[in-house]
Structure 1
Amino acid sequence: MKLSVLIKHLEAFAPLNYQEDYDNSGLLVGDPDQEVHAALVALDCVEKVVDEAIALNCNLIITHHPIVFKGLKKITGKNYVERVVLKAIRHNIALYAIHTNLDHVSHGVNGVISERLGLKNAKILSPKRQLLKKLVTFCPVDAAPEVRAALFAAGAGHIGAYSECSFNAGGTGTFKAGPGTDPYVGEVGLQHEEAEERIETVFLAQNERNILVALFECHPYEEVAYDIYT
């Protein structure tokens, strides 16, 4: 499994925007495109944990506490943070932290502790809002169903218990394709009018990259017109 795919699942459960301002959760060391063949889970990424990962042939360490809280100006191995990061890099071990964002999830660290203690009516004291963004794009009328389906499949269109939510309106788009282009409709050098559909839908902020990838892959135009509102 690619590291990016694993991270996607982790952050779907505990979104990064749930973390506190002082925190540094997320991928700290590593290439998102690398293949993960084994992962080691720990509370803290101390040097012994990296040694254990090396011995067990794990190329990913997932910890609760991030080994790097503040920016490192140098990585020379003079302190334990630098030694850990340097050793992880040398052995191609990715480091990922899932800290206060996991604390804020209802079924995260504190939620499990509450269940083990048998607490009743437990609730999050400072709940984090799921940050929504809105995508607006335009496409030929005949391509609209496919574009909507791709956006929904990528995670857009969820409002509460409802899914595949969107607003759609018709209109006329105009453009003139320049030299070297290969327009989906119209001819190079001539202004073209096309019956288009405006598609509006919402998505979680942390899913923006996946939404845009889906949009660019399914949209028939060479140049995709879109806006994102926060």
Structure 2
Amino acid sequence: MIVKDIIKQLEDLAPLAYAEEFDNVGLLVGHKDMEISGVLITLDTLPEVVDEAIATNCNLIVSFHPIIFKGLKSITGKTYVERVVQKAIKHDIAIFAIHTALDNAFEGVNAEICNRLNLINKSILMPQSGTVKKLTTFVPHTDAEMVRTALFEAGGGALGNYENCSFNSQGIGTFEGNSEAQPAIGKPNELKSVEETRIDIVYAKHLESGILNALFQAHPYEEVAHELFTLENKNHHIGMGMIGELEDPMSETDFLTFVKQTMKCEIIRHSKQLEHPIKKVAVLGGSGSFAISAAKAAGADAFVTSDLKYHDFFRAENQILLMDIGHYESEQYTKNLLASYLKKKIPNFAVLLSKINTNPVKYK
């Protein structure tokens, strides 16, 4: 097992292509071809976590948060970030971060919160745009089925709960190759008219390289005519936050107590109680103030998130119960999610859950 094997498994769960632009995800320290002795899963990569990896013979740390977020101008050990990088390099330990790629994944951070809170009928709160693409290509009638099949096998034509989706139309294509051409139909310097099928398929943007490779391998033409488009359609399986429903409504007081106990919170900061039952619940792990409007627009009775500022609570406007459960508390089970996922994918390999509580916030 090498590092890129683990990365492949993690990208099946949360493709890095869907991480936010500000983020720094992926392999941050180490080499993708390094052989792995064990994997340690953590929320944050701190110096003591690297010590734990050394002690447990794990030379790959899979971290939710990236230890390197902004560029390092020196590595002298003057900050905890530099000390982590120094120690990891010294002991040949690779560090991989998944962060907002997992935030945006349908079975990622927010799905884990929904599962912990027993929410049903979950869906993405803020679907990501720019993630659905379309391919148009033109193929001789006789080769259309072969090309379509290749595109489908590469993941093209999948739309929500449907697969093998395409639109096909008939027409006449013309071309004339020069003296250097090697046309599949006709001869160089000869104008040809060919009955062709136009094939249109949609695909998820992280599959683009595989889609194009399948097209070029299956298509009979020397020069493959094709067009790529980024669609404005929202991808309802990728995005920030989730919304779901409690099977049975709860009072606000009972729901606050339930969340506090389930998410192991020392304290919950919340907006004014409205004396309304809680049925529909929005969640967003980590800093979620940017999603307050989306939670209200979705008709959520409560919004569970963290890092709300003083003025954010005014934005409840007697429409929703805003709940700040703490940044660490909202994301703490992410490492359990990752560990469980990798153990299922590679059951006979050492995947360990870090025992270190990396929460920097203390309460008195």
Closer/same/farther in 2, CA of residues 163 and 91 from structure 1, 3 Å limit = same
| 1:152 counterpart SS class | helix
Deviation, 1:82, is 4.0
SS in 2 for 1:70: coil
Displacement of 1:105: 3.8
Which deviates more from structure 2 when the two are superposed, residues 135-144 or residues 15-24?
15-24
Q: CA RMSD in A?
A: 3.2
Distance 1:86 1:223 in 2: 49
Deviation for aligned residue 1:158: 1.4
The SS at the match of 2:164 is: coil
Sequence identity (%): 48
Give the direction of change, closer, same or farther, for the CA distance of 1:120–1:166 in structure 2 (3 Å limit). closer
Task: Provide Cα deviations, 1:25-80, integer angstroms capped at 9, x if missing partner.
Answer: 33434555x365443322222344445556666553321001122234x4544444
1:134 deviates by: 0.6
Q: Deviations over 1:103-143 (max 9, x none)?
A: 34453234334433x44458568333372111101122221
Verify the 8 A CA contact 1:36 1:60 in the aligned structure 2.
no
Q: Report the alpha carbon displacement of residue 2 of structure 1 after superposing the two structures with TM.
A: 6.4
- CA deviation after TM superposition for structure 1 residue 93, in Å: 4.9
Letter in 2 for 1:196: E
| TM-score between both structures, scaled by the size of structure 2 | 0.53
- Amino acid in structure 2 at the alignment position of 1:146: M
More displaced, 134-143 or 79-88? 79-88
- Provide the C-alpha distance between the structure 2 equivalents of 1:105 and 1:191, rounded to a whole number of angstroms: 49
Give the 3 Å change call, closer, same or farther, for CA 7–191 of structure 1 in structure 2. Answer: farther
Is the contact between residue 106 and residue 124 of structure 2 (CA under 8 Å) also seen in structure 1?
A: no
Q: Which stretches in structure 2 are left out of the alignment for 5+ residues?
A: 231-364
Superposition pairs for residues 193-212 of structure 1, below 5 Å?
A: 193-212=193-212
CA gap of 1:113–1:221, structure 2 versus 1, over 3 A, is same
| Structure with the higher strand share, 1 or 2 | 2
Q: How does 1:113-192 map to 2 (within 5 A)?
A: 113-116=113-116, 118-121=117-120, 123=122, 126-129=125-128, 131-192=131-192
* Other-structure match for 1:39: 39
CA contact (8 A) 1:62 1:95 kept: yes
> For residue 25 of structure 2, what is the aligned residue in structure 1?
25
Between 97-106 and 59-68, report the one with greater CA deviation: 97-106
Aligned residue-pair number: 227
C-alpha displacement at 1:155, in angstroms? 0.8
| Structure 1 range deviating more: 131-140 or 53-62 | 53-62
Partner of 2:316: none
What is the identity, as a one-letter code, of the residue corresponding to 2:168? N
The answer to whether the 8 Å contact 1:174/1:191 transfers is: yes
Question: Counterpart in 2 of 1:102?
Answer: 102
Separation of aligned partners in 2, 1:165 and 1:179: 39
Alignment-derived partner of residue 217 in structure 1: 217
Q: Deviations over 1:79-103 (max 9, x none)?
A: 4434544655676654321213323
Aligned equivalents of 2:93 and 2:68: distance in 1? 15
Q: Which runs of 5 or more residues in structure 1 are unaligned?
A: none
- Structure 2: distance between partners of 1:144 and 1:92: 50
Partners of 1:89 and 1:195 in 2: CA distance: 59
- After TM superposition, the score normalised by the length of structure 1 is 0.78
Instruction: Name the CA distance, whole Å, in 2 between partners of 1:222 and 1:27.
Output: 37
Query: Relative to structure 1, is the Cα distance of residues 94 and 195 closer, same or farther in structure 2, using a 3 angstrom cutoff?
Result: farther
- Aligned in 2, Cα 1:138/1:55: closer, same or farther, shift over 3 Å? farther
Give the distance between the partners of 2:191 and 2:105, measured in 1 at CA: 52
Output one character per residue of 1:127-164: Cα deviation in whole Å (capped at 9) or x when no partner: 33372111101122221111111111111111222210
